[in-house]
Amino acid sequence: MQAQKNFWRQLTWTWKPESERDAGDSVVRNLLLHWFPAKVTMASLSFRYSFWLGTISAVLFGILCVTGVPLMFLYVPSVERAYQSVKDIEFVVSFGWFIRGLHRLSAHLMVAVVVLHMVRVFFTGAYKNGTAANQARPVNWVIGILLMLATFFLSFTGYLLPWDQLAYWAVTVGTNIASAAPLVGDKIRFLLLGGNQIEQNTLLRFYVLHCFFLPAFVLFLFLWHMWRVRKDGGLACVDKLSLQQKREKLAPVKSKTYSLLGITKGCTVHVETALVNETEHTVNSSPHLTRRILMMTLATVAVICLLALLVPTPLEEAANPRVTPNPAKAPWYFLWLQELVTDTTVKLGDFTINGALIGGILVPGVLIALLAVWPWLDKSPVLAVGVWFAATRRRQNLVFLGIVIVVVALTVVGTFLRGPYWLFFWPWEAWPEMPTPF
């Protein structure tokens, strides 16, 4: 019995350290904890600063990987059998509907959480370098943008796999917008589809991208992103804390070596040190950080499971290229682009301004490029780093907030207020009866 306790203690002591020394050693000796610092600031652990959105998005990605494995075994990437295999998962396989619901909801929530995480970083000015040496937070901001785009495409490639009407025509709308890119638009669409139409080549390409290449790319970017957070000294709120500290003169500790020969009894060399009171503001990563990560993981999994039980996963009739739904809508995270395409398509006599080029390519391209270079354009002081809605960043925060509101408003309009022929309908207005396709 004692031997079993000792064996279990050897396996778990890094997660439940019993002393200050064990807490420090646990980070060094545990592979999973090795990328964390030995100590973290209590401000970094606060829910009010980061809302733990980065951790939640990582947990959602983990759920996608775990639930994707059984779905990958059950799914058949063939235009003849894809829809039927999804239907079997939904109605025949034991708890298949639950696994598919978890996967689908995690994908949608990951898109939303990653976007919210980027919004949080902007409003706190966390993309700027602070007080520590060798920081490269602007680079990490660009990595975050790449992660966001990869998350979009990871969800987009999975959208087609059910091979129902909703998936087929949503991907049709999305790829048609991409084809509006000047010079390379048609080539990009041809590369995505593997031809000129959505067919077997398209399904196979989306399946391979969704199951291997994009997850591997997201995992690589995530590891790089976390490594840069560690190299940059942690979350940006740490820089604000360090600027607020007062340097104190402390007596030298006799047990610590301050010079080449060390300090001996009765030394005549007076050494003065200036330290920040770390014990007041920091705690050991294990168990304080690990427990909070576990709590957020359990909470995220619980919410996803509850939503999977309450929210049905849609599956429309099998994809039919000859029957176009009216209206045909892109995935919800691209609906703002579809709405923008409509709003920027203007007829001037016989001349028509190409809304797909302006609203679908140029506007989002400019926004992404502006986001990427913004850390180098932001000249706000160091005191604004890690501060929610800092007064010195008021103007740029208002501009960014205005863009976010416009994107959200366009998404709402495209989701709830657009009906047949993409005409505007209020929620209480009835849509006209459409002829039944034959």
Mean pLDDT, 10 residues at a time, over the chain (438 residues)?
A: 73 84 85 86 90 96 97 96 96 96 97 97 94 88 97 95 93 87 86 91 96 97 94 86 62 51 44 50 89 96 97 92 89 93 82 81 94 94 92 95 97 94 90 70
The pLDDT value recorded for residue 247 is 52
Query: Exposed, middle or buried: residue 62 (CB in 10 Å: 0-12, 13-18, 19+)?
Result: middle
pTM for this structure?
0.89
The pLDDT value recorded for residue 276 is 52
The pLDDT value recorded for residue 436 is 61
Dist CA 73 CA 293 (whole Å): 30
Dist CA 190 CA 198 (whole Å): 10
The pLDDT value recorded for residue 271 is 36
The third-level CATH classification (topology) of the domain covering 35-236+247-422 is Cytochrome Bc1 Complex; Chain C (1.20.810)
Closest CA to 236 of 123, 76, 159, 366: 123
Mention every residue, 6+ apart, whose C-beta is less than 8 A from residue 265. 254
Which residues in 353-374 are b (16+ Cβ under 10 Å) and which e? ebbbbbbbbbbbeeeeeebeeb
The pLDDT value recorded for residue 345 is 84
Taking the domains of the chain in order of start, what are their residue ranges? 35-236+247-422
The pLDDT value recorded for residue 245 is 66
Dist CA 386 CA 384 (whole Å): 6
3-state secondary structure of 423: coil
- Alpha helix (H) residue ranges in 75-95: 82-91
The answer to whether the CB of 40 falls within 8 A of the CB of 289 is yes
Dist CA 259 CA 273 (whole Å): 13
Mention every residue, 6+ apart, whose C-beta is less than 8 A from residue 258. 252, 269, 271, 273
Q: Hey, what amino acid is at 9?
A: R
Tokens linked to 58: 């990582």
The pLDDT value recorded for residue 261 is 46
